[in-house]
Chains A and B, each alone.
Chain A
């Protein structure tokens, strides 16, 4: 039976009652780690560029060939650092889902659960991050090549029209694909023994006839997001766990054999 949006949200609010501290702790840890990693990456890139310039200046090797070589080395190191950051951030996501899944199922949950991805099949989650990175790089190749060609040649109209149409098609396709495979993380978190291909197939089968329903559910949080932004991001600390728990109840609802009624909490528990 398909449960309505309002009921899924009601269950999420009920499950989170008394557990907001844990969920917010998890999100704060996730944001701090992501922020620190982004900061480290930016500082590393800045120092590499500065150090590269200083070395080239001191050694007098700043001719065209060595300049290109230095740029290539810095570029490769930056790409590797970016991939490492992406992998770590994507490996924290399963932990965050696990934390919220425990809350939704009434099982013990702690903020440190966000590191669950590092202990359970870390290679698989790192593989997902690399796969997403590769797909996004491959998708951006045509428009990048055409933009560069437009800069070098006199033909400007075609690249602009192509990029517009390509971006439009890519946006629609990416929404469709992300809706189809939106349950992959939940499947893998619930049963880490499953393979990536199996999880992708299961997610596709689960979402047949439910894509629009999930899109509607996701869009129904737009008002919440506006409120979160108006509170300068403070409100997002409460909204993000709410959104994640609602999505988990949506996922559990796609499995009719599982009881998805949230644990009963008393009113006077702290949040």
Chain B
């Protein structure tokens, strides 16, 4: 049985939250990058299962957030400028 790893658990929670909140532009990006950071920092010898989940969900959340931000700016530009 794997030992408890708080950082890996946090990474997983943040990763899932980043996917859920990826439509909120920057929030998804912040949570996604934090999930990746925590997943990588929680590893000493081999990566915890929760950390792996956090890493994958964090990357997905981050990519979706970046995509949403790009789409937002493109649509705003087409609608007549961001400002």
Contact = CB atoms under 8 A, between A and B. Distances in A.
Interface residues of B, number: 21
Contact of A228 (B6, B10, B26, B37): B37
A136 B74 CA distance: 44
B16 interface: no
A234 B38 CA distance: 12
Given A224-B37, A234-B34, A268 B3 contact: yes
Contacts of B42: 13
A46 interface: no
Interface string A33-76: 00000000000000000000000000000000000000000000
Interface string B27-54: 0011011101110011111000000000
Interface in B5-38: 5-7, 10, 26, 29-30, 32-34, 36-38
B30 A242 contact: no
Interface in A1-31: 10, 13-14, 16-17
Contacts of B30: 230-232, 234
Nearest to A16: B41
Contact of B37 (A10, A231, A232, A269): A231
Range class of the A interface residue count:
20 to 34
Nearest to B7: A271
20 contacts: A10-B44, A13-B43, A17-B7, A224-B37, A227-B33, A227-B37, A228-B33, A230-B30, A230-B32, A230-B33, A231-B30, A231-B33, A235-B37, A238-B38, A239-B37, A266-B3, A267-B4, A269-B6, A271-B6, A271-B7
Given A230-B62, A238-B38, A271-B10, 16 more contacts: A10-B45, A13-B42, A224-B37, A227-B33, A227-B36, A227-B37, A230-B32, A230-B33, A231-B30, A232-B26, A238-B37, A238-B41, A266-B3, A267-B5, A268-B4, A270-B6
Contact of B44 (A13, A231, A232, A270): A13
Interface in A226-246: 227-228, 230-232, 234-235, 238-239, 242
A204 B3 CA distance: 44
Closest 5 CB pairs of A and B: A267-B3, A231-B33, A230-B33, A268-B4, A235-B37
Nearest to A11: B44
A235 B33 CA distance: 8
A17 B37 contact: no
Nearest to B31: A231
A227 B38 CA distance: 11
Nearest to B37: A235
Contacts of A231: 29-30, 33-34, 37
Nearest to A226: B33
